[in-house]
Structure 1
Amino acid sequence: MTVLVLGISGLDRSLSVKQQLVPGLDWREQRLAQGLDSAAALVSEDGVLAASAQERHDGVKGTGAFPVDAIEACLRMAGVTLDEVDVVAHGFRYQPSVAWDLDPITRRWFDEVYCEQVQLDVLRTHYPDQDWARKLVRVPHHLAHAASAYYLSGFQDATVLVADGMGEAESTSVLAGRGSRIRSTRTYPISSSLGILYTVVTQFLGFLPGMDEYKVMGLAPYGDPKRYESALEHLVRLGDCGRLLLPVLSFDRTAVERETHRGVIRRLEELFGPARHPDAPVEQRHMDIAATLQHVLERSLLHVLDSAVAQAEQAGERSRNLCMAGGVALNCTANGLISRSGLFDDLFVQPAAGDDGTALGAALWQLHQTTAAPAPRMAMPYWGEEFDDAAVSAAVAGLGDGYRARRLAEEELVGEVAGLIAEGSVVAWFQGRMEFGPRALGNRSILADATAPDMRAHLNTVVKQREEFRPFAPAVVAEEAGEFFEIEPGREHVFQHMLFITQVREKYRDLLPAATHFDGSARVQVVDRLTAPRFWRLISEVGTHRGVPIVLNTSFNLKGQPIVRTPREAVDTFARSTIDALAIGDWLVTRTVPDAGTDAVAGTGAEGSRA
């Protein structure tokens, strides 16, 4: 009999309670809360059946709202009802403790957001007919993160590193995976949180904490970490046997400061000067601070892993494999450094490494407690909704005047889109099942020519309307990845999910100006013919036009918008953008009016979906 486990993430009341606890917070301080990025995932012995983030349904980026829409989508894709689900696993397990009596604010967090009774109440509000006292299983947060990576890695043994802002009481965890079991070997307290440090400096630099850390990572190569070398010991101190001390975090001394990190911000101003206002220009000083922070993160992660390897060797349990999860594991630059360190032979980062991935991990953890499910290495996280031709056709029909829409055979579609990209056009690419996780991996993407010198600036300023310094990922066919990028033969699979930085080979940097970052690096996506066949064919066809089987790949969304989910969203987003063409299913839509795209389209169309 098949076991069905539904995993969920997020803490539904987190933001509303935060606003009550500390009135008058600015819009960035409100983001400093546990339990965002809510999602749902459905798994069985057959593997991952479906997974979806709530933000793709309600349009609120990073939402922590109860993922009712994502749950319904997962059930719909799998063709089951909630009655048929055996267990619902939640990626948090807060327990009563004297620590919750530290102050009234902390106590209210437990009573109104974290405790088991609140989780049961939320579930009963949305699904009152279920026996939640029996059906709900709560999984410790870092264990859910670890399970999301280890059980999808294909490894029979691995060191597992989880690093984020915080779990229930820890910020970094080292675990050991062997067979179907995972056990914790070391944890680091919240006072040593590398994730919190990175988030607070993100806020200090004028960006949105819990959302814009990748901007700081992209800014870091423009800076010089030596400028603030004297500040390093105030940020982190590395002790014997892998110990971490983050002195700067100790400056949050009151309950309100712990909610806002205003104490840490004041200390950062003493070390680096005034915090940047969100609307102020980015100066060299800000780049140097970003570089310092990135250096601290990389140095600290290697310190933790060095100690973990030494401890495992002493116990005779050394693994040559590494799995990573948690928000810090989305730092592609640090991942690339770890990959090159020689500490491990093979690495795997679960592509939804943030808190949305704990929905997946909680479900996988519970599944492996009851069944010896096989665990092959995952391919692409195409676990979201796929829409039938009726839904696509209806959405396209709603465009109205100013557009030309044609339904093409696959060979024609791929050929025409490749030709448009080669000629300098920007094309939105909406195909198959939606990706799970923050990266667009070839099914909900915006694509462009990686060889065009001005393409990165055009995409940033005109299409995506974002900061000029932000890099774009090159997607390359697996057969040619090692030719253009510093990827060793046999390690192409490491770069499948756009989570590792490597260097563009020097002889190709001038040929790939739009794909090569300031420091010669690139966040590469290696595309395999078997796992993404239509995307692979498109990139290959671009190669016949440009001599380079590479395209720029960025997510199909505009500023402030989650990645598009439905055909209607795809068509509407295309219509109000400056994107030149839309390839949606078997349809190719181009503009016939030069200024089309200034207003959102009118019209409606029924949507249909299939798993």
Structure 2
Amino acid sequence: FPSVHKRAFEARRSKKEKRFWGNLTDWAVNSSPISYRNPSPKVKKILSPILERILRKKLPELSPQVSVNFVEHHEAHAWGAFFTSGFERALIITADGMGDGVSLTVSVGKSNQVERLWQVSARDSFGIFFENLTEVMGFVPCRDEGKLTGLSAWGNANSVEDKNPFSWDGTRIVYNGPKGAHLKRWLLNLLEKYGRENVSAWAQNILESVICGVVCHWVSKTGIHKVAVAGGVFANVLLNMKIHELPEVSELFVYPNMGDGGLSLGAVCATFKPFPKPLPHAFWGDSFSEKEVLDTIKVFGLPYKKLDSEQIPTLMARAVANGKYVGRFVGRMEWGPRALGNRSILCECKSKEVTDKLNSMLRRSEFMPFAPSIVYEDVSKFLVGYNKAEHAGEFMTTCFRSTEELKKEHSAIVHIDGTCRAQIVIKEHNPIFYNFLSEYRRLSDSGIVLNTSFNIHEEPIIRTPKEAVDTFIRAGLDYLFIDDFVVARDIKEIEYF
């Protein structure tokens, strides 16, 4: 089931986020690998009477193939997490800003059924609190909350003496702090008084303590120790690490498209009620023909060469081992917020000089950490406790504690708090990228590279060949591996291949 925000990517890149639903719906239906049919039984949860009337009228006009069924917001989140986890039985927790008046839910998934046990009103939303804090820090709400997570490692939560605005007593989460304009004024006063690093650490600590308390409570109450999570709050990779480190939790799965981009698949699952199946990969987005790729390269007039596809992992590994900065654009785009190798910038990760150069090339914030991709055979050398979140690690949706070897040998991808947001690469699920890392391991003795999303800072990740070549040029990368072609900046560099 396709769930790529095709036009949303274009709107963000052009800075014109206008109406695009009609074309997006047509694209989704026409490119789906499954045929459309009227689901039975229909899901009859109503999101909003007004919204329902609008959509029932407008969507068929835009796309005649479509009939409309409604699934409640957090039910879709829960089903997406449960279905893709592969767990036969799971405790499911969803949390975000709000959806249909709700900000957090706890459910149990068994076989092909999901039953909600508990929920929290949008009035007591962690997501809304973090959106406001993100905005008063000068970042973009609903997009840059991850910057607060990065900043939190640089601060001291205990230095903030103001009262925790959230309370959790084992039965209810209640937000007791200021609201509306008063909330923003209060947060601004906190920033002036304590600084953004300390306030970020304070907010992160509040989030972790309450959510982990909820997890422990419901694990104890249900006797279910496998946990699946979804919703924008669980884009917070430090929170996810704290969850899988809990003794009460035996395994954690984080829905790869944890935000609202994952609701479409969740809604389908809530409608058809399939049995859970482990998600093998997240490459469900756009792909392009060889003609489209080659025509784009020729338009830019850069030197290029077509390669033997079987040799590409080896050639790319040699380039990275020689200190080159490589862009990789191949196959279908990642589904969700993480770059997992198909729309990535790759380089070695042995020194902090690498991060300084990348921050300059990509205009990134210096306080934000970079992430590694690690071949499965080397995971135990570098990550502590990975076995409780191995599947989640394939999608780069949680942090792990770093081993001393990782801190010493690959400092470029270890954050100041000793954690790293690693991608675990398994041959069966990502064979070409696995072969690249295996060859790099042979050349450098370690199957680990720095992997950051292929985009200039504040721009969306690249989606099309045109965006790939344009960003390759503006970022000043050494090589672009784009499907079966390699592109360089001058003719002499192509001779290397």
| Structure 1 length-normalised TM | 0.76
Task: Figure out how many residues of one structure are paired with residues of the other and give that number.
Answer: 489
Across the aligned residues of Structure 1 and Structure 2, the Cα RMSD in angstroms comes to 2.4
1: CA distance, partners of 2:378 / 2:142: 35
**1:155 maps to 2:53:** no
1: CA distance, partners of 2:8 / 2:342: 14
1:225-374 equivalence runs, <5 A: 225-228=157-160, 230-233=161-164, 235-239=165-169, 241-248=170-177, 251-252=178-179, 261-273=180-192, 285-312=195-222, 318-368=223-273, 373-374=274-275
Preserved CA contact (<8 Å) 1:478 1:492: no
2: CA distance, partners of 1:156 / 1:203: 40
The one-letter code sitting in structure 2 at the alignment partner of 1:390 is K
Preserved CA contact (<8 Å) 1:482 1:489: no
Counterpart of 1:506 in structure 2 is 404
Preserved CA contact (<8 Å) 1:203 1:209: yes
Counterpart of 1:279 in structure 2 is none
Preserved CA contact (<8 Å) 1:92 1:168: no
Preserved CA contact (<8 Å) 1:55 1:562: no
Preserved CA contact (<8 Å) 2:386 2:400: no
Preserved CA contact (<8 Å) 1:242 1:308: no
Preserved CA contact (<8 Å) 2:438 2:447: yes
Structure 1 residues 491 and 165, CA gap change in structure 2 (3 angstroms): closer
Counterpart of 1:77 in structure 2 is 31
Shift of 1:79: 5.8
Counterpart of 2:70 in structure 1 is 138
**1:86 maps to 2:38:** yes
**1:591 maps to 2:492:** no
1: CA distance, partners of 2:22 / 2:443: 45
Among 144, 161, 180, the residue aligned to 1:212? 144
Preserved CA contact (<8 Å) 1:427 1:448: yes
The one-letter code sitting in structure 2 at the alignment partner of 1:341 is L
Among 311, 317, 327, the residue aligned to 1:412? 311
Counterpart of 1:122 in structure 2 is 58
Query: Among the aligned pairs, what percent are the same residue?
Result: 29
2: CA distance, partners of 1:271 / 1:512: 36
2: CA distance, partners of 1:90 / 1:586: 44
**1:391 maps to 2:343:** no
Among 417, 420, 424, the residue aligned to 1:522? 420
Shift of 1:413: 2.1
Secondary structure at the counterpart of residue 222 of structure 1 = coil
**1:51 maps to 2:3:** yes
Counterpart of 2:381 in structure 1 is 483
Preserved CA contact (<8 Å) 1:335 1:500: yes
Preserved CA contact (<8 Å) 2:245 2:385: no
Counterpart of 1:582 in structure 2 is 480
Secondary structure at the counterpart of residue 382 of structure 1 = coil
Counterpart of 1:452 in structure 2 is 351
Structure 1 residues 80 and 533, CA gap change in structure 2 (3 angstroms): closer
- The gaps in structure 2 that reach 5 residues or longer are 493-497
Preserved CA contact (<8 Å) 1:581 1:588: yes
Counterpart of 1:193 in structure 2 is 125
Preserved CA contact (<8 Å) 2:135 2:141: yes
**1:382 maps to 2:283:** yes
1: CA distance, partners of 2:43 / 2:411: 44
Shift of 1:460: 1.7
Preserved CA contact (<8 Å) 2:47 2:71: no
**1:167 maps to 2:72:** no
Preserved CA contact (<8 Å) 2:372 2:421: yes
Which range moved further: 516-525 or 388-397? 388-397
2: CA distance, partners of 1:65 / 1:522: 38
Shift of 1:411: 4.0
The one-letter code sitting in structure 2 at the alignment partner of 1:205 is M
Shift of 1:156: 1.2
1: CA distance, partners of 2:34 / 2:212: 44
Structure 1 residues 351 and 157, CA gap change in structure 2 (3 angstroms): same
Structure 1 residues 361 and 80, CA gap change in structure 2 (3 angstroms): closer
Structure 1 residues 153 and 452, CA gap change in structure 2 (3 angstroms): same
2: CA distance, partners of 1:92 / 1:404: 55
1: CA distance, partners of 2:406 / 2:336: 30
Secondary structure at the counterpart of residue 559 of structure 1 = coil
Secondary structure at the counterpart of residue 165 of structure 1 = strand
Q: Deviations over 1:121-165 (max 9, x none)?
A: 3314422x45x6xx2111000000001110111111111000001
1:456-471 equivalence runs, <5 A: 456-462=355-361, 464-471=362-369
Secondary structure at the counterpart of residue 510 of structure 1 = helix
Preserved CA contact (<8 Å) 2:303 2:491: no
Shift of 1:189: 1.1
Shift of 1:193: 0.7
Q: Deviations over 1:27-53 (max 9, x none)?
A: xxxxxxxxxxxxxxx2xxxxxxx3312
Structure 1 residues 347 and 64, CA gap change in structure 2 (3 angstroms): farther
Shift of 1:513: 1.4
Shift of 1:267: 2.0
Q: Deviations over 1:230-287 (max 9, x none)?
A: 2143x22222x24222212xx33xxxxxxxx32211122344437xxxxxxxxx8210
Counterpart of 2:495 in structure 1 is none
Shift of 1:537: 1.1
Counterpart of 2:333 in structure 1 is 434
Secondary structure at the counterpart of residue 166 of structure 1 = strand
- The gaps in structure 1 that reach 5 residues or longer are 1-41, 43-49, 97-110, 253-260, 275-283, 313-317, 595-611
Counterpart of 1:102 in structure 2 is none
Preserved CA contact (<8 Å) 1:54 1:65: no
Which range moved further: 209-218 or 444-453? 444-453
1: CA distance, partners of 2:93 / 2:121: 14
